[in-house]
Amino acid sequence: MAEGEFLIPPLRPGAHVAVIAPAGPPKPGRLEPVEGWLHERGYEASLLPSCFGPPPLDFLAAPDEVRIADLHQAFAHPGYDAVLALRGGSGCIRLLDGLDLDWLAASRRLLIGYSDITVLHALRTRAGIPSLHGPMPASDWGLPGAEADTDALFERLASGWRRGDLVGRAAPHPLSHGASARGRLIGGNLAMFCALLGTPYLPEVDGALLFIEDISEEPYRVDRMLSQLRLAGVLGRIAGLVVGSFSGAESPDAVLADHLPRLRCPVLAGWPSGHGQPNRPLPLGVMADMDVTAGTLTLA
């Protein structure tokens, strides 16, 4: 692919976005504004049945069969141009063995979301299709302090992502080390990425740039998950590690400071994506150059 060609094409004005709830249910008052928010940004919106329940368990937005059907419809219906997850939470991993992976792989429609949506990003990455780790309506849009993240998401949706584009920049961080690396960006939420270990749904890790972030995970659990990645051989096979925010619990900085310097690959820490703010959009499933000294990721 030549320099400047689109890796993720723009989402043009008037594009039709399918909104799905493959994980947890929205909190009260967080579903009703979604269609209007998308209209304000110049897009058409369809909220699929999973957004409306009923939740069979209090942490699931809708029954498994409804969420599976919505995923199939969102990626197969010719009228949709992008697929937006309503929120994360829990539940996507329950769906994986019920999905028609060939059907999903036949569609290059952009998937947008983060958190529990990490397991769906893994499917797109395995199929060689880019996706977007970015803010979701029921989790982020319209909340105080999240305006810049939401604006950044829609600006990049409108412009698309080209080879050679600067993805973003991290401020200098004491845990960053090494020089540079090139690889395919994979990962997302650390807990969900670890949950894929030992399943057939884990993306290829050899030579990849692994991005990790998390929320509400105490330091001992972050230690356990990083140890699991090490023992599974993942940390010895990646080309580089990109570390986003860890929020909502006691800081795991001491744990990260114990693990990360032992990695032989370059580490770029302090990346502005994750459950905290900022949560800038990050393309996954695409090749990128990581420059630790400059603190940058650039699409390759």
Residues recognised as catalytic: 115, 213, 275
Of 190, 171, 155, 165, the closest CA to residue 281 belongs to: 155
Cα 176 from Cα 174, distance rounded (Å): 6
Pairwise CA distance, residues 56 & 94, whole Å:
13
Q: CA 204, CA 186: separation in Å to the nearest integer?
A: 8
Question: d(Cα 195, Cα 241) in Å, to the nearest integer?
Answer: 18
Neighbouring residues of 38: CB distance < 8 A, sequence distance ≥ 6? 17, 19, 44, 45, 84, 137
CA dist 71 → 38, 76, 80, 84, 279 (Å): 19, 8, 12, 10, 24
Backbone angles phi, psi at 284, to 5 degrees: -120, 155
Which phi and psi (to 5°) does residue 127 adopt?
Answer: -85, 0
CB atoms within 10 A of CB 5: 10
State how far the Cα of 25 lies from the Cα of 203, in Å rounded to an integer.
Answer: 27
